[in-house]
Chain A
């Protein structure tokens, strides 16, 4: 067996071989290319190669007015489309000084949390599928289907929402949505026992996730990891609590953390966050204030010169929009901080020394969305 720490180039070329966990693979979530250097079945070096899904969103922003860019954030991270959309609206509102009515803030919080639950279903169940349990994946999609039906009732679309507008949201929520969300919450609570006992307590699952892919706190902070990946390593950082925005200061919820930093800890953090999201939605539905859902803004906004940075918590970590405006209707530069980009490269530090079967598990537990990395 090679000693990972003292490997040099001559040894690499003689004994190890390279394997492409290529762009087309059944278990990389998106078009992700991992170049592995293996000795037998043990990984010696891993190099992620990105850029296969680059579509030029930030370049598109330089040629479109602010309203025309509204569909784009949802396409960057399609699993948190609502959250990114609201984040972009928040950034432009901060730049122009627009005040959002309270009812709109509450609706934004409710839809963002529903989107977060939907995204966590994919994140956790995709991890289980990477390990080989295909059934919970399909059950997770069944639960996610209910959320998508609810969001379709108010926004009209199931994945690429474009629901937020500058100054609020597009239209008000209906009674159907209100009742449907209540029913959905009850149904979800009754499903937790199933998921817990089929996956979380299963001895095979525990043996494959315990002590696999341990990210220490120092490594996580050094690489700039955020989101459930960071909270699984013991750091209690969540943008909703540390730098609150929108209506989040008015709700009572906790940030689940775990100390171990392995795959099981990250999985447990995501499942615990589902519970917290349900709490937030219930509180928001109980105290929904009446009023308008959209402030009066000009049809085509013209922000003053300057720049601003707004950060918010997407399902994968701390995302942000940095907008530089030069006084016209077209932005000068929009830069997006995608959390998956920082989360991905921690793989280069933690993967060496693991088996090939673990690489898939670790990659699934970090929960990246590849188009978000490439934008």
Chain B
């Protein structure tokens, strides 16, 4: 008999495979991954923005500005958290907390590699999707509680935008779920690894619609009129200072990472890749997508609000529906 069946070792070390352990390890992964991701991404965004605009971005702190986000975090920690006197205190205090909490949940079903996955929840994609919808209400709370007309306009716009773009998002993932017959993200990545051909070749239109819809869900340009710096000074987070402001930032970048990771899992094969270990491929694809999102931000102007709704209802939803029908028919026939 082998070593794991010895009675002493089974009792003491048996708990290493249990759910509690995997929960603890998952918590550690999230606690480590989220701040590092955000720190890295903020810096990459500023450097990419700089080089597109023919300037170098942050250069002072650390060689070529690597430690910039660290110093920014220290600075934001040191700032006074001013609460304006005529705000709704409870909502004002609650809003940054609620915007950040669902973002952490989204990391749970993501398949980083065949072995590393915190828990392959059986409604994987729906879990991420429903928790990210909670973020919407926190934006509305933040905008309303600030007692500021600019924030209110920004918050109202964001609710309409988020609700409108959830439909094309779902409709774009339905074909994938039809093809693989499961909601579990680990199995979707497995299906692509087995068939050898990534789903983006089977469903290019759904991939484009998914990409546009997640850019709109996370309030990134060209859909960032929620925090449009030209019109509303800073949108719903005008009145937030110090650590509260950085919580909004944290939530936005974490949502971006989750969206990019979802796109990787659904369309780009997850951890599938030739030579390197699975986790490396997963992160490489995710960061490449994030680079594309930033590249788009610095190229296009902002879309006006009514044109945004037109775009969602009149262009994205019909195309996504037609795509879904064609996929269903083809899958039934073949």
Contact = CB atoms under 8 A, between A and B. Distances in A.
* In-complex A–B contact (CB below 8 Å): yes
Interface of A: 17, 19, 25-27, 41, 128-135, 138-139, 142, 198, 202, 204-205, 207-208, 355-360
Interface in B134-180: 149-150, 153
Given A26-B230, A139-B53, A128 B305 contact: no
Contact of B230 (A19, A130, A204, A207): A130
Nearest to A134: B298
B304 A355 contact: yes
A274 B303 CA distance: 28
Contacts of B228: 132, 357
A84 B300 CA distance: 35
Given A19-B149, A26-B230, A132-B221, A358 B304 contact: yes
Contacts of A131: 230, 301-302
Contact of A204 (B233, B298, B300): B300
Shortest beta-carbon contacts, A-B, top 5 = A132-B302, A131-B301, A138-B53, A133-B301, A132-B301
A359 B231 CA distance: 9
Contacts of A358: 304
Interface in B43-68: 52-55
A146 B224 CA distance: 33
B306 interface: yes
B55 A356 contact: no
Contacts of A130: 230
A207 B153 contact: no
Contacts of B305: 41, 355, 357
9 contacts: A132-B301, A132-B302, A133-B302, A135-B298, A204-B301, A207-B303, A207-B307, A357-B225, A357-B302
Contacts of B53: 134-135, 138-139
B4 interface: no
Contacts of A357: 225, 228, 231, 302, 304-305
B153 A202 contact: no
Given A133-B299, A133-B301, A204-B302, 20 more contacts: A19-B149, A26-B229, A27-B231, A131-B230, A132-B300, A132-B302, A133-B300, A133-B302, A135-B52, A138-B53, A139-B54, A142-B54, A202-B300, A204-B301, A205-B301, A208-B301, A208-B307, A357-B228, A357-B304, A359-B231
B96 interface: no
A130 B230 CA distance: 6
B186 interface: no
A24 to B, nearest CB: 9
Contacts of B221: 132
Contacts of B307: 207-208
A27 B149 contact: no
Contacts of B222: 132, 204
A79 to B, nearest CB: 20
A78 to B, nearest CB: 22
B230 A132 contact: yes
Nearest to A128: B301
**Interface range, B side:** 20 to 34
A129 B230 contact: yes
Contacts of A138: 53-55
B4 to A, nearest CB: 59
Nearest to A132: B302
B92 to A, nearest CB: 21
B47 to A, nearest CB: 14
Nearest to A359: B231
Interface in B205-233: 221-222, 224-225, 228-231, 233
Nearest to A137: B53
Interface string B287-311: 0000000000011111111110000
Interface in B113-142: none
A356 B55 CA distance: 32
Contacts of A360: 230-231
A323 to B, nearest CB: 40
A220 to B, nearest CB: 24
Given A133-B299, A134-B53, A142-B54, A208 B304 contact: yes
B299 A208 contact: no
A17 B149 contact: yes
Nearest to B157: A41
B313 to A, nearest CB: 16
Contacts of A198: 299
Nearest to A22: B233
A205 B304 CA distance: 10
Nearest to B297: A134
Contacts of B230: 26-27, 129-132, 360
B3 to A, nearest CB: 61
With a 10 A CB-CB cut-off, give which of B52, B153, B230, B301 has the most chain A CB atoms.
B301
Contacts of A41: 153, 305
A25 B229 CA distance: 9
A356 B150 CA distance: 11
Contacts of A19: 149-150
A208 B304 CA distance: 7
A199 to B, nearest CB: 8
A187 B153 CA distance: 44
Contacts of A142: 54
Interface string B233-271: 100000000000000000000000000000000000000
Nearest to B222: A204
A356 B232 CA distance: 9
Interface string B6-46: 00000000000000000000000000000000000000000
A27 to B, nearest CB: 4
With a 10 A CB-CB cut-off, give which of A132, A138, A139, A358 has the most chain B CB atoms.
A132
